[in-house]
Amino acid sequence: MRRTLLSAVVLTSLFTATALAQDSKAAQSPGYTDTPMLPDGKWRVHDSARPHPAVAEPGPASGPVPAPKDALVLFDGTDLQHWKSNDGDAKWSVADGCMTINGTGDLRTVREFGDCQLHVEWASPVEVQGESQGRGNSGVFFFERYEVQILDSYGNVTYADGQAGSLYGQQPPLVNACRKPGEWQTYDIVFRAPTFGPEGGLLTPARVTLFHNGVLAHLDRPLWGATAHRSLPSYKAHESKGPIRLQDHGNPVRFRNLWIRELDLSSTPAAPSTIARAKGKAMGGSNEGAEPSKGGKVAGGAEPDGGSASARVNPDPLGNTDGKRDMDSDIAALMQQPELADTNITVQHVLIAFQGAPRISGVTRTKDEAKVLAAKVWARALSGEDFAALMKAHSNDAGGGEYPMTKQGRASMVKGFGDVGFRLKVGEIGVAPWDATASPYGWHIIKRVK
Ligand code: MG
């Protein structure tokens, strides 16, 4: 019981508690308060408290937008020759110059596409049925996995990252440019495919520019990975081209006039800031969007991922291998090094607290004893002892002691955490020493694991 209470106290202190505020807002708007934080550390997936973009009144609907000569017309109102279903021929109903979702499942293009400009005209049902995600829901999935959401968002409140024009579960549109139910709407999407290295690690993330009814909704917005519901997006390496999928979400959304232009963007390489990872296997949720260091490689990008790979990393961020270590001088030397360019990291820590530290109870050692113990634990960690075992044996943070951090969100955490964490490569270990303001609970032995 004592440890449980201590855990609660420490955890509350590590993070700004916003749960109460979010709970009250959740009652007023759809969404979630228990989903993971997105990698930028600002909002949860489908966060019920995330602000909704302003309504931008688009101009009136017009007739079909003629396709440029170099475009491939994917649907001209007459047949589904360019589409197929999961199990064979496409079965959406075609009548009156449009195709309508009819419960027969998603459609996907017969051909595959990479970088492209896609024009889509769609209309949510005239008769409004359902609410939130149940109202006029469909979607355009590039590579069958990166969704630009289609929804009737005209006077229909849902979570911000799920409304029309959102990059579902990741990013709301800049504005709500939805027309009324039944009116024809346009999406003009520039999709830039993600790229992967020879070992499957993400090199550049997918990017989306979207005009909704002629109104800018996204400008070259990077994705954190494949679309996910109630969970974090992540990348898994795939080919340079893939089908485009239209979602059957059970609502009779109509489509007409779809055309696509394949793009050769080799003369406009992805900006260096889009390079997320130079090495690695299938991308988890930890590396997407990370900022690169010089030369286009993420700091630490040549290092193996955390966990099992840490055995191959010298855990000493100063590169010492002679075993002669002094905690105070090493702490000072690490602080002399610049922070790395990484924006999203995960650290584990062993908290060595002491009696009298704020919000700490049940700990009887003195501050001096805490420092001596911290130095011992730090040295054992550097010598290669299992960090999880050290956490279990010594940490006064009974809550588990593993925390994701973003550069934007670090201000809500113990300052020493970020000061050390953002100077460590994956697998390295540092110490945030006790400090009345930067690290008030004691000494944190910190290992970066992602
Ligand atoms: Mg959808």
**Distance of CA 218 from the midpoint of ligand 1 (Å):** 17
- Confidence at residue 283, expressed as pLDDT on a 0 to 100 scale: 36
- Confidence at residue 15, expressed as pLDDT on a 0 to 100 scale: 39
pLDDT tens-digit readout, 135-190:
999 999 999 999 999 999 999 999 999 999 999 999 999 999 999 999 999 999 99
Q: CA-CA distance, 424 to 418, in Å (whole number)?
A: 10
Q: At what angle do helices 387-394 and 367-382 cross, to 10 degrees?
A: 160
Contact 231, 45 (CB under 8 A): yes
CATH 1.20.120.10 fits 285-448, yes or no: no
Q: Is the pLDDT of residue 411 over 80?
A: no
pLDDT tens-digit readout, 88-105:
999 999 999 999 999 999
- Ramachandran quadrant class, 411 (left: phi over 0; alpha: psi -120 to 50; beta: rest): alpha
**Distance of CA 165 from the midpoint of ligand 1 (Å):** 10
Superfamily of domain 54-262: Exo-inulinase; domain 1 (2.60.120.560)
- Confidence at residue 276, expressed as pLDDT on a 0 to 100 scale: 40
From the number of C-beta atoms within 10 Å of its C-beta (0-12, 13-18, 19+), residue 225 rates as buried
Q: Where in the chain is the domain with CATH 2.60.120.560?
A: 54-262
**Distance of CA 285 from the midpoint of ligand 1 (Å):** 22
- Confidence at residue 374, expressed as pLDDT on a 0 to 100 scale: 94
pLDDT tens-digit readout, 263-288:
999 888 775 433 343 333 333 333 33
Kindly state the average pLDDT of the residues 417-437. 91
pLDDT confidence band for 324 (50 / 70 / 90): low
For residues 299 and 1, the model is more confident at: 1
What residues have a C-beta under 5 A from ligand 1, the ion? Answer: 137, 139, 149, 247
**Distance of CA 139 from the midpoint of ligand 1 (Å):** 4
**Distance of CA 94 from the midpoint of ligand 1 (Å):** 21
**Distance of CA 8 from the midpoint of ligand 1 (Å):** 38
**Residue 77: how many CB atoms within 10 A of its CB?**
17
Q: Is the pLDDT of residue 224 over 70?
A: yes
Average pLDDT score, the chain: 83
- List all residues 6 or more positions away from 269 whose beta carbon is below 8 Å from its beta carbon: none
Q: Where in the chain is the domain with CATH 3.10.50.40?
A: 285-448
pLDDT tens-digit readout, 15-47:
333 333 434 444 457 999 999 999 888 999 999
Q: Is the pLDDT of residue 291 over 50?
A: no
Q: Which of 145-154, 362-371, 380-389 tops mean pLDDT?
A: 145-154
Give the strand order in the sheet containing 88-89: 88-89, 83-85, 107-109, 245-246, 138-142, 146-150
pLDDT confidence band for 398 (50 / 70 / 90): low
- Confidence at residue 169, expressed as pLDDT on a 0 to 100 scale: 97
- Confidence at residue 298, expressed as pLDDT on a 0 to 100 scale: 28
The pair phi, psi for residue 180, each rounded to 5°, is: -65, 155
